[in-house]
Amino acid sequence: MGDRPNRPFIEPDKIALDLCTKGWRSKGIRDEIFLQLCKQTKRNNNVDSLIKGWELFAIFLEMFPPSTKFHSYLDGYFQTNTGETIGNNKISVAEYAVYCVRRLQRSKASPKKGNNDPSLQEVIHVKNTVIEKSQFGSTVTEVMEVQKKRYPERKIPWILSTLAEIVLRMGLTTEGIFRVPGDSDAVNALKVHMDQWNKPTSALLPDCHVPASLLKLWFRELWEPLIPERF
């Protein structure tokens, strides 16, 4: 995390990917990975090292969850840091902590990531979405606020209308659109692509079940339900 010099021929993102892949493949070491990050980010006065540690928290939580037994401890650690103002000129520990609290809570309801190992593109994507705000796992208000920079004239989320249009175009002759799940790896690939505000290409749409599953995922991961619980 910056305390020791990195090997010159390995980029930090690739080191993160290597650690992430190990945790993805082996459930038995996941809690230990999170525990070591807790130890290395607690009372760490090296700001660069501290931010890198929280960056790893965000990346790992996107790829794999802690065990049920370790869940409450990790949530408590994140909660205690939601008021921490230490950070760099881009982001604070508090912002990472809030992101991690949300991601940890979503991990209980989120579907299986897929069968393929994490990719470097996914690692970089998570790093960017913590700062830029992801379209997934945010509130509709947050999504619309970020969207103003690109589509100020739109009144509904771009990702919602785009996916709905694709489902309408591809799904008229498809049976069980919202019942049959799309391939999990294809859904994840489409998620990463669209979360960077890129329009889907035909290569990312092998069938209608993929965009339909991503549309369901977007609704499911909204931090606040589209229809309030009181209704």
List pLDDT tens digits, range 106-150: 886 665 667 788 999 899 988 888 888 889 988 899 999 999 999
Query: How confident is the model at residue 129, as a pLDDT?
Result: 85
| 18 and 113 part of one domain | yes
Q: To the nearest whole number, what is the mean pLDDT of the chain?
A: 89
3, 46 Cβ separation under 8 angstroms? yes
Q: How far apart are CA 209 and CA 206, in angstroms?
A: 8
Query: How confident is the model at residue 42, as a pLDDT?
Result: 93
**Which residues, including other chains, have CB under 8 Å from residue 15's CB and lie 6 or more apart?**
6
β-pair partners for 92: 87
157, 144 Cβ separation under 8 angstroms? yes
Contacts 24+ apart (CB under 8 A), 78-85: 78/104
Comparing CA positions, the residue from 110, 113, 215 lying closest to residue 158 is 215
Domain count, the chain: 2
- Of 51-55, 176-180, 207-211, which range is least confident? 176-180
Q: How far apart are CA 87 and CA 96, in angstroms?
A: 10
Query: How confident is the model at residue 2, as a pLDDT?
Result: 55
Query: How confident is the model at residue 133, as a pLDDT?
Result: 83
Query: How confident is the model at residue 218, as a pLDDT?
Result: 94
| 141 and 113 part of one domain | no
Joined tokens for residue 193: 């692509």
pLDDT in tens, 173-201: 888 888 999 999 999 999 999 999 999 99
| 97 and 190 part of one domain | no
* 189 assigned to some structural domain: yes
| 139 and 97 part of one domain | no
Radius of gyration of the chain (CA): 18
The CATH number that applies at residue 139 is 1.10.555.10
> Residue 95's domain spans which residues?
12-118
pLDDT (mean) for 53-81: 94
β-pair partners for 87: 92
* Res. 153: pLDDT tops 90: yes
| 107 and 30 part of one domain | yes
Query: How confident is the model at residue 150, as a pLDDT?
Result: 93
| 100 and 183 part of one domain | no
| 170 and 81 part of one domain | no
Q: How far apart are CA 100 and CA 62, in angstroms?
A: 9
